[in-house]
Amino acid sequence: MSTAFSTLRHVRGFDVVRPLSIVTMLAIMTPLVLLPLASIFIFGTSKGLGSFWAALTAPEAIFALKLSMVTSFWATVFNVIFGLFASYVLSRYNFWGRNAIIVTISLPTAIPTAVAGFALLLLWGPYGTLGRLIEPHGIHVMFTAWAIVLANVFVTFPLAFGVIKPVFDTMSRSLEEASATIGATRWQTFWHVTLPSLRGAIVTGALLTFARAVGEFGSTILVSGNLANRTQTAPLYIFAKFNEGQVEAANAVAIVLALFSFAIFSVLFFARDWLDTE
Amino acid sequence: MLPEEITNIFGDEGADQEAARAETAAPGEIAASVRGLSKSFKGTVVLEDINFDVAMGESLVLLGASGSGKTTILRIIAGLEEPDTGRIILHGNDVTELPARERGVGVIFQAYALFPRMSVEQNIGYGLRIRKRPRKEIKRTVDELINLVRLEEHRKKYPSQLSGGQQQRVAIARTLAYKPQVLLFDEPFGALDAQTRVRLRREIRSLLKHINVPSVFITHDQEEALELGDRIAVLNVGRLEQIGTPDEVYNKPETEYVATFLGAANLLLGVVNNGGVELGTVNLPAPEETRRFREGQPVKLVFRPEDVCLNRTGALPAGCQRLTNGVIEEIHFVGAYERLTVRLDLIARQPSEGTPQLYSVTINTDEKRMGIPIIVTRPKPEANSTRLAVGDRIAVGLTAFRVLPNYALASERASRVVDLEK
């Protein structure tokens, strides 16, 4: 994928199209993406780093950031493991309804995340289909950290699946066949041959899942209950503080999230050769 | 029985194993047998009653066009495909029901299928690592094999850093590490350029003679088959047409398909008449060749372009049986030899009313010239010493030919020619 781009020369000497197109592109992008991002940083640091730091180290803010990281981490772990398994099954075995499942898995990317949230409520909530059955046994899923993990998985699974499954599809079967004829069991083949080829897809899928889960808002606000210091994730904290008029507090956490996602996407971009299979 | 109890790949591993082998295996013992193999995919028959054996240390080439089923045979032997009927026997054990990993078969895949994330050493040691052998033993075997395939300076490299030939040697060494009962090569030179191909198959040939492991090759390249095979099995749409030494299949083809697939062949239609083959106005005496046919049976006279001798004076050399006269129509010089088109003075007998035409005289021009064109090749020295020109009238003789049955209908070609003398 490390293609060296070369542009076709249309004119001799100075080509005015080049600077012109770069400037146009930047002019459109600036108000759309760059300025909004910049304003977070400008506003966050306008009252000095001291107040930024104070806003960030407020116990509620730290709790919200931690909760986001922890729930996203478990959602990522689940997505990678189950994503591998589901991709394996759906790419290796042909069975009735397979394509329907593949389509259904991708659905959550298109429906509003709030719908994902209340779908989970309808299932696991106190009066939900499953919730009604487990609630009497003292098992509460909704309005806990587990609800956040569930919501994250629901929303982000298509990302991990969408990265891992194509690699399974295009992987040469002869590698696995070679391994089998050499004498490896299915598990040895998977561990020594299949998995190493999936390294890039797994890391990419994990980073995408994590980045998306940390920023998830619509579904978490419905299923978590949004209780400060208990089930309030970073995006919910930002929303709550903003509603309370504490824009600095909201902004400090926003800066952390922005930097965090910047870091993740930088890794994805600059390590893409390493992440590429082969 | 474990494969290592049977095959001894490395001569230096000690005489005790050599002795052990002598007990279980007589020289010339059958290493692998394929018995009555049939297979169809979704109603299409791809293999029909395939039988053959591979002897210890022998290399057998399965030769056939694409779609002949040769790859399926290989995959069935390896355990990657299940046969509908038939058995696979390796060193006396029926392995038909065993999964691929328990068969101890070495497969060299078409694109080698080296593990891209493993170095040369790791690839070669893989078979022993998954068998949980002691580290020392793995290292010793890997060292030996790297020496054997001469990849000392590449041992730390990854497959993508190796040339096609080097990758192939890694693939072979990787299978030799676990002492396979039989080596299977799936179109091993398909991915290489013509020059490397020739060099590599000589290398592999000498390597195989050295390690004494029976091997089965798959190819569609007749030259490759003739050079690599101790024996060649010619496959045609799922049937085994002929199996024999390169000399047998080339010089004594049993079917028209074999004759035309391996090298070029001229085919003339005729009938058996009085211990000879009657071709139009000519009767070619062939008492030996025609013995297995009944009088009047339609046959095909098959001969190779290089088995034709030509002479302007009419005096054909000894050992060359006179066929008829002809006229030289074209002469092409193609590198190592000269290729001529000769129109024979054979006139097709007009079939009487209602009987099927026995001679299909190939006339491909509008003017409907009389006679049958054949292709003749002459080596350079002969071409230079006796020059011939287009339009010359010449005597045509044959140094070697085969007489094959001519089935009017394809369905009559249900079985191979049964040679009654055998």
Distances (CA, A) of A251 to A35, A70, A217, A231, A257: 15, 21, 16, 20, 10
Q: How many angstroms separate the CA atoms of B135 and B149, rounded? A: 21
Confidence of residue B52 (pLDDT cuts 50, 70, 90): very high
Shortest distance, CA B26 to any CA of chain A (angstroms): 27
Q: Are A80 and A160 in contact (CB under 8 A)?
A: yes
Look at B113 and A174 and tell me if their CB atoms are within 8 Å: yes
Binding-face residues of A in 194-223 toward B, CB within 8 A: 196-197, 199
**Stretch (H or E) spanning A100:** helix A98-106
Q: How many angstroms separate the CA atoms of B284 and B6, rounded? A: 53
Selecting from B80, B131, B160 the residue whose C-beta is nearest the C-beta of A183 gives B131
Look at B106 and A174 and tell me if their CB atoms are within 8 Å: no
Among chain B residues, the shortest Cα distance to A200 is held by: B117
Q: Given the DSSP bridges, would you call strands B182-186 and B105-108 parallel, antiparallel or unpaired? A: parallel
Q: Which residues of B touch A (CB under 8 A)?
A: 78-80, 99-107, 109-111, 113, 115-118, 126-127, 129-131, 160, 174-175, 178
Among chain B residues, the shortest Cα distance to A185 is held by: B101
Q: pLDDT by residue for chain A (278 residues), tens digit each?
A: 445 555 666 677 778 888 999 999 999 999 998 888 888 888 877 887 888 888 888 899 999 999 999 999 999 999 999 999 999 999 888 899 999 999 998 888 888 888 888 888 888 888 888 888 888 888 888 888 889 999 999 999 999 999 999 988 888 888 999 999 999 999 999 999 999 888 888 999 999 999 999 999 999 988 888 888 888 999 999 999 989 988 888 888 999 999 998 998 898 888 877 766 44
pLDDT at residue B271, rounded to an integer: 86
Tell the residue number behind the tokens 């009238």, with chain if given: B393
Selecting from B99, B113, B131 the residue whose C-beta is nearest the C-beta of A178 gives B113
pLDDT at residue A6, rounded to an integer: 59
Contacts of A175 in chain B (CB under 8 A): 113, 115-116
Look at A174 and B174 and tell me if their CB atoms are within 8 Å: no
Contacts of A188 in chain B (CB under 8 A): 130
Exposed e or buried b for every residue in A39-48, given b needs 16+ CB within 10 A?
ebeebbeeee
CATH number of A66-172+201-262: 1.10.3720.10
Look at B130 and A184 and tell me if their CB atoms are within 8 Å: yes
pLDDT at residue B365, rounded to an integer: 44
Residue B212: phi, psi to the nearest 5? 60, 40
Answering whether pTM is above 0.80, one says no
**All structural domains of chain B:** 3-104+178-256 (3.40.50.300), 264-412 (2.40.50.100)
Asked if the C-beta of A180 comes within 8 angstroms of chain B's C-beta atoms, the answer is yes
Shortest distance, CA B16 to any CA of chain A (angstroms): 26
- Minimal CA–CA distance to B88: which of B80, B98, B77, B74? B77
- Chains A, B: CB contacts within 8 A come to 71
Contacts of B103 in chain A (CB under 8 A): 181
Confidence of residue B366 (pLDDT cuts 50, 70, 90): very low
- Minimal CA–CA distance to B405: which of B256, B274, B242? B256
Look at A192 and B111 and tell me if their CB atoms are within 8 Å: no
Q: Which residues contact B108 (CB under 8 A, 6 or more apart)?
A: B168, B171, B172, B175, B183, B184, B185, B186, B188
DSSP B113-164: ---TTS-HHHHHHHHHHTTT--HHHHHHHHHHHHHHTT-GGGTT--GGGS-H
Look at B109 and A174 and tell me if their CB atoms are within 8 Å: yes
The count of other CB atoms within 10 Å of the CB of residue B178 is 24
Q: How many angstroms separate the CA atoms of B417 and B400, rounded? A: 19
**Stretch (H or E) spanning B349:** none
The structure tokens listed for A98 are 């397979």
Distances (CA, A) of B398 to A100, B138, B316, B320, B328: 68, 59, 9, 5, 16
Find which of A175, A176, A182, A277 to mutate to test the B interface (most B CBs within 10 Å of its CB).
A182
Report how far Cα A210 is from the mean position of its chain's Cα atoms: 4
Find which of A181, A191, A277 to mutate to test the B interface (most B CBs within 10 Å of its CB).
A181
pLDDT at residue A9, rounded to an integer: 66
Helix and strand tally (H, E) in chain A? 15, 0
pLDDT at residue A15, rounded to an integer: 80
Confidence of residue B121 (pLDDT cuts 50, 70, 90): very high
CA torsion sign for A144, A149, A152, A157 is: negative
Q: How many angstroms separate the CA atoms of A83 and A244, rounded? A: 39
> Which runs of consecutive H residues, i.e. helices, occur in B262-379?
287-290
Shortest distance, CA A208 to any CA of chain B (angstroms): 24
Complex ipTM tops 0.85? no
